[in-house]
Amino acid sequence: MSSIDLTTVRPAVQAIVHAYHGKSTHLLQMLWRVQEKYSYIPELAIDSLAGELNLPRAQIAGVAGFYSFFHQQPRGQYDILFSDNIIEQMQGKVELMAYMLKKLGVQCGQPRPDGRVTVDNTSCIGMSDQGPAILINGHTIARLTKSRIDTIVDLINYQVTLAEWPKEFFEVHSNIQRKHILLGGYFEAGSALQVMLKKGADLSLAELGHSGLRGCGGAGFKTESKWLICRNTPADEHIVICNADEGEPGTFKDRILMQRYADLMFEGMTLCGYIINAKKGFLYLRGEYRFLLESLEAVLDRRRKDGLLGDNILDTPGFSFDIEIHLGAGGYICGAEIALIESIEGNRGIPRRRPPPFPVTQGYLGKPTVVNNVETFALATKVMVDGAERFNTLGTAQSKGTKLISISGDCDRPGIYEFPFGITVREVLEACGAQEVQAVQNSGAAGYCISPEEFDRRLCFEDLNTTGSFMIFNRTRDLMDLVRNFANFFVHESCGFCTPCRVGTSLLQQYIEKFVSGNGNAYDLQEMATLSHLIKTTSHCGLGMTAANYVQDTMKKFPQLYQKRFKSGSSLSPSFDLDAALNEARKLTKRTDASAHL
């Protein structure tokens, strides 16, 4: 760690700002560089950044203060974050974390007095098929066990640099269990671009339309329409953004695509660039996937060398397109495209603007912008090489082709499954070897909790929409653990912009804790229903509108979850312990007699 005084901080910050050509849109990347140097964002660095970028220091402090991976206080030389998704809790995360804290002699969230290490929690890092998992200085270690922790603790105590740690610790498995049109078959980089150039932009777009491809991020907007609207919006510049901020707990499909199929994604972005006449593309890589950064940059470099990116792509005069990777810094909200664009612009990831206009006509810096998910771009590439027919003959009337499902939790074979749309929940469960299933949480924390009565429903836009996260809970599980985990998740991830989501998610958490401690009652249940409805119907953005889904679903489908926790013999219980509240007064008055108690 470098020492912190203005004479050293200022030149360091100047060099960082210079490396990004002084562009304030790159503020997040600059903050990353600062933190890599100091382990946190020192106040002096904020002052220097403000000076160099000619921005108010409070604006920079506000950005640094928004993202959960940026720290205001020094962290340990080894900064460890445990993925705190419910699936990892089921895999033993809580016990393993306690074990590590004890072995390291460190408090959760507090640096060890010698400054060597910090251990803390973070939201799902996309490893639930191979959890429990941690991030250590941004790098992923999955499949934690006690013995692995023993080794990690030794490595930390002996101050071994990460580069010298056993290579296998940092191996992330793909766990691809079922391939179809997207994951199957060989793809030669550049082949989709060649098809497109032969066809021309109009016919290529028509082919996409014919395929029926819809956005895989959740909303399911027709890809052809999105690209067409963007292309037809006059502007000096158009932009392509690939959303790789898959923050829904339990999802990891985009990770697999970026690990193993990065060319499909980048080529899809390049296709889009040609069709909508964009020269610039961004990949918004979630901070949790920092470990993919070098390999993705290597793919980009190779594509540049091969004439698949840059000027005159495939020797086509005027076809210029390049891609820049924007590394996120922890924030589920940034998966929402308006917040994501704010983040790429160097702002707090808050969905300030309320559409219309949508990003497709007014997006990044006000320019028409296509934002699509990793999977959507990859599929667009496949449609181009394999033809629309291969795609639209699969699936259902409104949902063509296939969908990647990330499966985790109680099953024999967790991992990635590619199924044609229209498959039933039951068929998915059979494929992954799940037995005695009590519930499936579909589409992450913002999604739906599915009970066995619904297992014949079909995964498609017409019936059960899915973003591709499938977390399985067998009959031995207490779903209250899921409820509690999601309550904490939304408290942590609410961006804080609007009142109902900012305050309401914490109020819901209070009610849930009341049930967890066995003090809930029928009135509280009614209050939770009212509050959930309120959050859903008055919040500013999609996060708030879905932040109480898990309460509404579990209350409706698993009412006994709450009822069995009713405080017996009482229809009303106060929200705090009356007698315990008198503790301080008793202490002050030195009273211990019976009448000082309730």
Partner 1 sequence: MTQYDITIDGQKVSFTEGQTIMDAALAAGIYIPHLCHHPEFAPHGSCRVCTVTVNGRNTTACNTRAMPDQVVLNNTKELEATRRAIVQMLFVEGNHLCPGCEKTGNCQLQAIGYYVGMLTPHYTHFYPIRAVDASHPDVAIDFNRCILCELCVRASRDADHKNVFALSGRGLKTHLIVNSPTGKLADTNFAVTDKAAQVCPVGAILHKRQAFVIPIGERLYDRQPINLVGDLAQSNPQGATTHG
Residues that bind partner 1 (CB under 8 A): 43, 47, 56-59, 61-62, 64-68, 331, 348, 354, 491-500, 502-507, 510, 530-531, 534, 537-540, 575-576
What is the rounded distance in angstroms from the CA atom of residue 93 to the CA atom of residue 441? 19
**Residue number, 91 or 505, with CB nearest to partner 1:** 505
CB of 271 to partner 1, least distance (A): 34
What is the rounded distance in angstroms from the CA atom of residue 349 to the CA atom of residue 364? 13
CB of 64 to partner 1, least distance (A): 8
Cα–Cα nearest to 126, from 399, 328, 353: 328
Strands 369-373 and 239-244, bridge-based pairing: parallel
CB of 38 to partner 1, least distance (A): 17
**Residue number, 72 or 145, with CB nearest to partner 1:** 72
Q: Tell me the angle at which helices 374-386 and 262-276 cross, rounded to the nearest 10 degrees.
A: 80
- Phi first, then psi, for residue 176 (nearest 5°) are -80, 120
CB of 491 to partner 1, least distance (A): 6
**Residue number, 370 or 531, with CB nearest to partner 1:** 531
CB of 293 to partner 1, least distance (A): 24
Q: Are 45 and 13 in contact (CB under 8 A)?
A: yes
Provide the CB-side half-sphere exposure for 420 (13 A, CA).
12
CB of 218 to partner 1, least distance (A): 20
CB of 222 to partner 1, least distance (A): 23
CB of 521 to partner 1, least distance (A): 15
Beta bridge partners of 420: 402
**Residue number, 51 or 310, with CB nearest to partner 1:** 51
Q: Are 432 and 407 in contact (CB under 8 A)?
A: yes
> Burial, 581: exposed, middle or buried (Cβ in 10 Å; 0-12, 13-18, 19+)?
exposed
**Residue number, 427 or 527, with CB nearest to partner 1:** 527
Q: Please state the length of the chain.
A: 598
**Residue number, 105 or 357, with CB nearest to partner 1:** 357
CB of 41 to partner 1, least distance (A): 11
**Residue number, 506 or 589, with CB nearest to partner 1:** 506
Q: Which structure tokens are listed for 483?
A: 């409820």
What is the rounded distance in angstroms from the CA atom of residue 527 to the CA atom of residue 306? 61
CB of 497 to partner 1, least distance (A): 5
**Residue number, 193 or 531, with CB nearest to partner 1:** 531
**DSSP codes joined into one string, 373-401:** EHHHHHHHHHHHHH-HHHHHTSB-SSSBS
Q: Does residue 42 have a cis bond before it (omega within 30 degrees)? A: no
**Residue number, 338 or 425, with CB nearest to partner 1:** 338
**Residue number, 289 or 497, with CB nearest to partner 1:** 497
- Long-range residue pairs from 177-180, CB within 8 A, at least 24 positions apart, any chain: 177/407, 177/413, 177/415, 177/416, 177/417, 177/431, 177/432, 178/416, 178/417, 178/418, 178/419, 178/431, 179/418, 180/394, 180/402, 180/418, 180/419, 180/420
Q: Which structure tokens are listed for 187?
A: 């793809």
CB of 537 to partner 1, least distance (A): 5
**Residue number, 72 or 316, with CB nearest to partner 1:** 72
Q: Look up residue 118 and give its amino acid.
A: T
The secondary structure element, H or E, covering residue 45 is helix 43-53
